[in-house]
Amino acid sequence: MFIPQYAIDRLAPSIQPLVFETGVEGVRYSSTRGTVFLVGYEGRSYVLTARHALQPNNLMPICVFSSDVSCQLIPLKDVFYVPQHLEDDDIADVAVIAIDTRRINHPDVARAQLMDLALSCGEWKGYAHETQFFVLGYPEERSFLNYETTEFRADRVMFLGRYDGPSNFQSLHVLKVHNTLSLTTFSGLSGTPVFAWLEQPRQRPTSVLCGMVLRGTSQSGVIHFLDRDILLDALNLKRQMEQQES
């Protein structure tokens, strides 16, 4: 099934590499440690990624770029993790980062594109075995740091795949990738959004957010992704906390 370029172009700007400030002079950013995606939810702006990609026990300053062509960073407020004692490890492997919209003072940041979850969260499970899936993310192997110019570059890649059913792990699904693009590892793909391209009779073709990559191997060509409902549950918990604090 063909996925039109306009559909990819519409989603791509909201998906950015996860990098950290190193604190080392002349080497400002780390290599890509994961992927993040910017979302709009109930009138608020957030960044979603995998908890383990942030390395919470040794968390360094998080850097999220505002677009593919800007070095301006999005101001972040706080990180919310699903309490691990309440859920199993996979369900709790979600990080919700609040964007501090009050500190946005650069036009590049103001133009940052968010994925509107109210429009992106349609039904997909009933069509999973007959539709094309795709993943947009930043493998670590495709990130580069020029030590002479201190220029950082990360290349976004797209994987096409087919749904291979529920995983043996709770709330995870299995995606079989058609082409691993000669990558030796899927490191850097944690936190990557997973989409289905739906073409239904008498309906406009659309991309639907299905979940978020947690792990996988290039050797097997298999990706395990967390169900979208878990992401929405995490966002709901974050919103409840914000409402209690206001």
Res 58: pLDDT: 78
pTM exceeds 0.85 for this model? yes
List, in sequence order, the alpha helices (H) in 87-227: 107-110, 117-120
The CATH number fitting domain 5-245, selected from 2.40.10.10, 3.40.50.300, 3.10.20.90, 3.30.1490.20: 2.40.10.10
User: b/e string for 42-58 if b means 16 or more Cβ within 10 A?
Assistant: eeebbbbbbbbbbeeee
| Per-residue pLDDT tens digits for 31-69 | 678 999 999 999 999 999 999 999 888 788 898 999 988
What's the pLDDT score for residue 27?
65
Mean pLDDT computed over 197-223: 94
Task: Compute φ and ψ for 90, nearest 5 degrees.
Answer: -70, -45
Domain ranges of the chain: 5-245
Q: Using one digit for the tens of pLDDT, what is the confidence trace for 149-204? A: 566 788 999 999 999 999 998 899 999 999 999 999 999 999 999 999 998 888 88
pLDDT in tens, 75-134: 999 999 988 766 667 888 999 999 999 999 999 999 999 999 998 999 999 999 999 999
pLDDT at position 246 over 90: no
Distance separating alpha carbons of residues 154 and 141, to the nearest angstrom = 9
Percent of the chain at pLDDT > 90 equals 71
Q: What is the mean pLDDT of the chain?
A: 90
